[in-house]
Structure 1
Amino acid sequence: MKTAIVRHILVKEKNLAEQLKKKIHDGADFSRIAMQYSTCNSAKKGGELGEVKKGQMVPVIDKLVFTGAERILHGPVKSQFGFHLVEIKFRMDF
């Protein structure tokens, strides 16, 4: 079974997602940005989704999490919920 440890930030506007990504690349703390801006319930935990299983998330995010490079901030990625910034901390395959 494939699983991954993931954190993300969800916002409504692509422009805001791009601004937040730049702030993080420039050294801003991911968890503080998530707590301040993310509209996902995970914002309370600094954007931490914890361990997720393949097929558990919306398809576009699921595909990214299980094929994208680890330890890189991906996005903005559009889903029906808004725009996501996603970091795959690491993946496991049991």
Structure 2
Amino acid sequence: MLLHDQYYFNDEKDLGDIGSLEWRFGEGEVLSMYLLSDGERVGADLFPSDTPAPFEIEPNVTCSWKRENLLADLSATHLENTKICAVEGIL
């Protein structure tokens, strides 16, 4: 399963802002990937990532993150439970 944190502004999905990725595979194994503070490099961890807490900018103006299945958004649910043998990245 491939999950990601999706940003919402006043409960409306903002497609321009996607947070950390979390790969779940095997028997409860996790690989979390996230952007480092320099905005250029990616970090990784073997623990689940934390979804940021929602907050209000002003009354009735909220910002929140929700954990979602990225494969469902990409219409790629057929990839769930598929064995991935290699991953290639392009920089």
Same fold (TM over 0.5): no
TM-score by length of 2: 0.24
Answer 1 or 2: which has greater helix percent.
1
Answer 1 or 2: which has greater strand percent.
2
Structure number with higher relative contact order (C-alpha < 8 Å, ≥ 6 residues apart): 1
